[in-house]
Structure 1
Amino acid sequence: MVQEKTFLDWVKQETSRQPNKQHDPAVWIRRGQDFLREYTLVDPALISLIAEIDHTATNPESAEWRKGKSILHLVNHQLRIDFYYTLLCELTLDVADHLVVHGAYEAHKQQLVDQGFVGDIAPQTSAQEAPSEKDRPLIRLFEVWKYRLSELNGCDFSYRRMASYLPLPRDCSEEEFASRAFETPADHKYGKLKRWRKGTIPDLSDFETFIARLCAGHDSDHYLAWMKAQVALAWGRLIDEEEEALASIATTHPDLQCFNAIGSYSAYWNHYQKQAADISAA
């Protein structure tokens, strides 16, 4: 984006100065803070903490050094979240445009306007709460599908019934499987879906076959389900990376745990909601 290029050009200019003409740290801090406040949704309180970093600290074992390092790691964390959550919001607008072109927008516009394309699988855990496996996008995705299928069928669509759409190993027939297995085909499929719902990452081939069978005869639903599944898998990987990076900060500086931004998707969508509504009104 233009604003990012302008900021990076300034950084390049400043770092190319002669040593005796370098700006003091206060100038860098102010410019960085101004950029973050104007162009990102990084927490304002965290941006303010940047100015409190002790830039004279030289001992990596000192409390001042470790606190400054934790603050900068949190800024990096929130910048990554800012980038990816903004990307997810932009994806919603692309999906909306796609549905408009294919005459399928009306059936989905309420959800797209209210919470975006992926708001229903977004992590809801607050920064103060311990991470929950049940809050993973993939696990939420199966809950969303169950609700949607129950709605379409006018009755509860059980997970066992959902599992019936899974392929068997090497896509063999149920008769072949039953002749050489110690469990029924139905139990095998249900066990696999249960593992997926507990966080096991699906085999992509099995997952794609499952989605295609689940949405057979509904092309627009197939497209949306496949797209949302890809997002759920990628989002889960992002969360794993961020939680690993934040783990040491939560231990050494529990007062900074409040800056965990994983559960902040709705704040980003609030900034995009009007654009989605405008597509609806067009």
Structure 2
Amino acid sequence: MKKERIQLFIRDGQFPFIPPFTEASSWLNTTLDLTKIFKQVENNTELSLYKIDRKTIKSGSIDGFTQKTADKIEYNLHLLRDHYQFDLSNPYNINFNTVKPGSNGIIWLVSLDNIFRGLRIHHPVLTTYNTIKYLNHRRRVENVLFYLIHKIIRKNTAIEKRDLLIKLIKETYNSHTQLERSNIDNYASVLSEIIIDRKIHSNEKYAVFLKHNISLKVDFYYSLLVHFMKDILEIRCLLRLPTKIEEQLIDQGCLGKLYPERVGMEILMPTHKLFSFFRSAYTTNSIPLSYKNMSKHINNPNPSRSRISNTHPTQEASEIINATKLKQLKSWRSGVTPENDHLAEFLESLSGEKYSAFLPFFLCRITSMWNKFYIQEAASLKNEIKKHKNLEKYLDEEWLLSTFATYTKYWQKNAQAKTA
């Protein structure tokens, strides 16, 4: 008799109403991979974790675990919870038996809630009421949407399925997203066809399907950011912000002008725009701060990892250090993600005693993720165009850029409105 397999985890769903949390965490160079997490702490003498083979975790995440392996994983997770003070309680009274396969909202809710709890240890003034309330709302909508789709598919004729699916998708998107109504009509028609037939009949419809997926991702991430910035807005008086950053927070939700944008032959990415904005935000006497002077706020490089030696004259060594720091700043502007401590020290020096580095730190992390989000979608789109002849007639990178340029619209619609 085959032993019962135990499911411990919710697999990533690919429907973009709420994208997988693993996607966003990868943009921060973090991971939810249990193998890597256990590996990183296995030499910690304060913990006595069971060693579990990588292949066992990989296969078990798909097919389920034996009772023995499941017990070991749960034991490890409880040790990590207690050691790192993770909160694995259920403050939202979620009935996990009702969570639909393919949904991602639960992972987002639990993960962000724990991240914010950690942040409040260092920044107790931070409240994330708007962010968590929005996320919990969208999570519930996602679950209901999946439930109703499955119900429609099981109990109706083909014609009834199509009509009911179109009605469901249109009502859900019109009520709970900020997608354009004319686009929603097209998305509902094509998506219902794909759900029923499991295939797409033309490049034109495939282009609509790709636009749907990208637009829905953008809608989720931009809505989430807007609600987070609403939380920041509520404590702005405590953040000691430079005037220009405070003005951008109020008028543009801080991010309105930082979207990827084509200028001439190149695309200016969010990190590039952010550091350019810092030049005017931290200016003195109305003269923009030069990148050379900005780079001086980066800590000196570790001598053991630089070209500096004791044989270099003092002036030459100083020139090498300054050149290294300017090069480092250029790499950050281009999207290289600095270590948290390194970035925090730079921003604290740049801000000085007069201002707080709290919000600028978040802006650096958000724009770094924004870079990677755009690069991911642009590369995926380029690959689809390469695979499907004539697809470019209906979809190209200019459409993608225009979709990514909509953050201000989200801010203007939500900033003064009550959170859903």
- Please state how far the C-alpha of 1:161 moved relative to its aligned partner: 1.0
Of residues 325, 328, 343, the one that matches 1:207 is 343
- Please state how far the C-alpha of 1:16 moved relative to its aligned partner: 4.0
The question of 1:238 aligning with 2:373 is answered yes
Q: 1:55 to 1:155 in 2, by over 3 A?
A: closer
Q: 1:90 to 1:10 in 2, by over 3 A?
A: closer
Helix, strand or coil for the counterpart of 1:117? coil
1:96-153 Cα shifts (integer Å, max 9, x gaps) = 12223x274795653322111222423345xxx999442x111111101111222x34
Equivalent residues in 2 for 1:52-63 (5 A)? 52-53=189-190, 55=193
1:40-74 Cα shifts (integer Å, max 9, x gaps) = 122333222235539389696x7x24443332222
The question of 1:41 aligning with 2:183 is answered no
What is the CA–CA distance in structure 1 between the aligned matches of 2:307 and 2:185, rounded to whole Å? 65
- Please state how far the C-alpha of 1:11 moved relative to its aligned partner: 4.0
Match for residue 382 of structure 2?
A: 247
Helix, strand or coil for the counterpart of 1:140? helix
Match for residue 187 of structure 1?
A: 323
Helix, strand or coil for the counterpart of 2:297? coil
Task: Tell me which moved more, 187-196 or 243-252.
Answer: 243-252
What is the CA–CA distance in structure 2 between the aligned matches of 1:27 and 1:17, rounded to whole Å? 7
Match for residue 15 of structure 1?
A: 150
Runs of 5+ consecutive residues of structure 2 not aligned to the other structure: 1-135
Of residues 287, 301, 312, the one that matches 1:169 is 301
RMSD: 3.7
Q: 1:143 to 1:55 in 2, by over 3 A?
A: same
Identity %: 18
Q: 1:273 to 1:59 in 2, by over 3 A?
A: closer
What is the CA–CA distance in structure 2 between the aligned matches of 1:84 and 1:193, rounded to whole Å? 27
Match for residue 29 of structure 1?
A: 166
TM-score, length of structure 1 as denominator length: 0.77
Match for residue 266 of structure 1?
A: 408
Q: 1:171 to 1:269 in 2, by over 3 A?
A: farther
Task: Tell me which moved more, 43-52 or 90-99.
Answer: 43-52
- Please state how far the C-alpha of 1:84 moved relative to its aligned partner: 0.8
Q: Residue type of the partner of 1:96?
A: L
TM-score, length of structure 2 as denominator length: 0.54
What is the CA–CA distance in structure 2 between the aligned matches of 1:113 and 1:139, rounded to whole Å? 22
What is the CA–CA distance in structure 1 between the aligned matches of 2:251 and 2:156, rounded to whole Å? 52
Q: Residue type of the partner of 1:213?
A: S
What is the CA–CA distance in structure 1 between the aligned matches of 2:166 and 2:270, rounded to whole Å? 36
Q: Residue type of the partner of 1:145?
A: F
Match for residue 86 of structure 1?
A: 223
Match for residue 5 of structure 1?
A: 140
- Please state how far the C-alpha of 1:10 moved relative to its aligned partner: 5.5
Of residues 238, 243, 256, the one that matches 2:395 is 256
Match for residue 22 of structure 2?
A: none
Task: Tell me which moved more, 67-76 or 161-170.
Answer: 67-76
Q: 1:153 to 1:177 in 2, by over 3 A?
A: farther
Q: Residue type of the partner of 1:164?
A: K
Of residues 96, 114, 123, the one that matches 2:260 is 123
Q: Residue type of the partner of 1:5?
A: R
Runs of 5+ consecutive residues of structure 1 not aligned to the other structure: 277-282
Task: Assess if the C-alpha contact under 8 Å between 1:122 and 1:263 holds in 2.
Answer: yes
Match for residue 95 of structure 1?
A: 232
Helix, strand or coil for the counterpart of 2:174? helix
Task: Assess if the C-alpha contact under 8 Å between 1:67 and 1:253 holds in 2.
Answer: no
Q: Residue type of the partner of 2:359?
A: L
Of residues 268, 273, 278, the one that matches 1:140 is 273
Q: Residue type of the partner of 2:345?
A: T
Higher helix share: 1
Task: Assess if the C-alpha contact under 8 Å between 1:89 and 1:272 holds in 2.
Answer: yes
